[in-house]
Amino acid sequence: MTELKIAYSPLNDAALILVAEALGFYDSEGLNVTLIREANWSNIRDKLAYGMIDAAHILAPMPFAAALGLGPSMGRIIAPMALGANGNSVLVSAKLKARLEDGGKLDTSLLGSARLLAREVERRRKEGLGRLVFAVPFTWSPHHFVLRHWVASAGLDPERQIQWIVVPPSRMADMVKDGVIDGFCSGSPWPQAAQLNGHGEILFSDPDYWTLKPEKVLGVRAAWAEANPEATIALTRALLRAGQWASTPAHREDLIRILARTASVNAPWKAIELALDGSGLTFDPQTATFPWISHAKWFMGQMVRWGMLSPDHDFDQLARHVYRPDLWREAAAPLGLDCPLADEKTEGGQPAGWEIPAKPHNILMPANQLFDGGVFRCA
């Protein structure tokens, strides 16, 4: 048995890591895994950097940000798979919601709500009020990019007209309740728990922004992976098996039960259930776990777009330095999954189901569309 330590954040999208432990998939793949629950992403980053853990459930942009000199180094991290798609929601306080409505009906489309937000920003400026404050779980995170894109779609300057703070997801609801922040974007089930407790209302979720949005990946220390190549494939295979199980409708109640455990996500059953219904979270190993190079480039493109990074980097080389589609294929083939022939695809521009060339059979993919009609093509 190969021993390893895996960290995770208490979120629904850590499900594959939790399911693989609960159902014995690690053991059956020859792995003796110790799971470590962490309160925030900085802890996970630092423990990877110092070799205190071997792998982790991590935000997809984290290893790129670290490799590009944004924040402390993590050492080299590879990502042999994604851990699903979607799963985040944006919640605003009851007070902000009322001001956005202003006696009328709230337009919940992303473009419509962004225009209402722009109106509120201007009204606050005239009234001499401070900037709206939104929380995200990490600076270099999909949550931050989603909120900035949403804000900018109405012509606002996200850097100058909104205040951003970093808060662990499980603490965000209390900060809304106490009036410290006006809203937040986080992984489920914390927005759903906040809404159930009357602390605010969910404005939109990942599928409204991007119908199949990349989010978390399995991050593995490259040194560990290189020293344990067979175990790396076994770990990836165990998590793909967990994806097969978790994406089966008949297993839904058991999945909620695993997530609700005190040692797992430790959130109310109802919040977890609402999140699985409303956040678009999918664990389908065939359509939501491949580590697309185009996803990696999109994340780094967002860092450039928002002034976090200069464009003077070889993004293709860095993407392939971290994302490892070859390892996914090696782990997936024995499970009967179809393997994409290419490592990249166009992101956006697909409003309905479409096919990706793969072997032995093409893969029928769900819609892949961004809310503003944008299309991202790799250079």
Which single residue is written with the structure tokens 């470590």?
36
181-216, pLDDT tens digit by residue? 999 999 999 999 999 999 999 999 999 999 999 999
Helix, strand, coil shares of the chain as percentages rounded to 5? 45, 20, 35
Alpha-carbon distance of 31 to 33, in angstroms, equals 6
Question: What is the extent of the structural domain holding 242?
Answer: 2-85+214-247+282-340
How sure is the predictor about 106, in pLDDT bands with cuts at 50, 70 and 90? confident
CA 133 to chain centre: 21
Based on the domain organization, do 12 and 66 belong to the same domain?
yes
* 262 falls within a domain: no
Based on the domain organization, do 302 and 330 belong to the same domain?
yes
Domain-ending residue, one of 185, 209, 233: 209
Give the CATH number for residue 125: 3.40.190.10
Based on the domain organization, do 221 and 80 belong to the same domain?
yes
Q: Between β-strands 77-82 and 216-221, what pairing exists: parallel, antiparallel or unpaired? A: antiparallel
64-97, pLDDT tens digit by residue? 999 998 988 888 999 999 999 999 999 999 999 9
* 241 falls within a domain: yes
Based on the domain organization, do 81 and 95 belong to the same domain?
no
Q: Which residues face 6 on adjacent strands?
A: 35, 55
Based on the domain organization, do 75 and 135 belong to the same domain?
no
Q: How many CA atoms lie within 13 A of 378 on its CB side?
A: 19
Based on the domain organization, do 27 and 125 belong to the same domain?
no
Tell me the two tokens of residue 120: 């509120």
Based on the domain organization, do 107 and 65 belong to the same domain?
no
Distance of CA 158 to CAs 119, 130, 163, 213, 343, Å? Answer: 14, 14, 8, 21, 32
Based on the domain organization, do 80 and 93 belong to the same domain?
no
How many separate domains does the chain show? 2
Based on the domain organization, do 81 and 92 belong to the same domain?
no
Closest to 301 measured CA to CA, from 375, 210, 211: 375
* 373 falls within a domain: no
pTM of the model: 0.96
Alpha-carbon distance of 67 to 325, in angstroms, equals 19
Domain-ending residue, one of 209, 227, 255: 209
* 265 falls within a domain: no
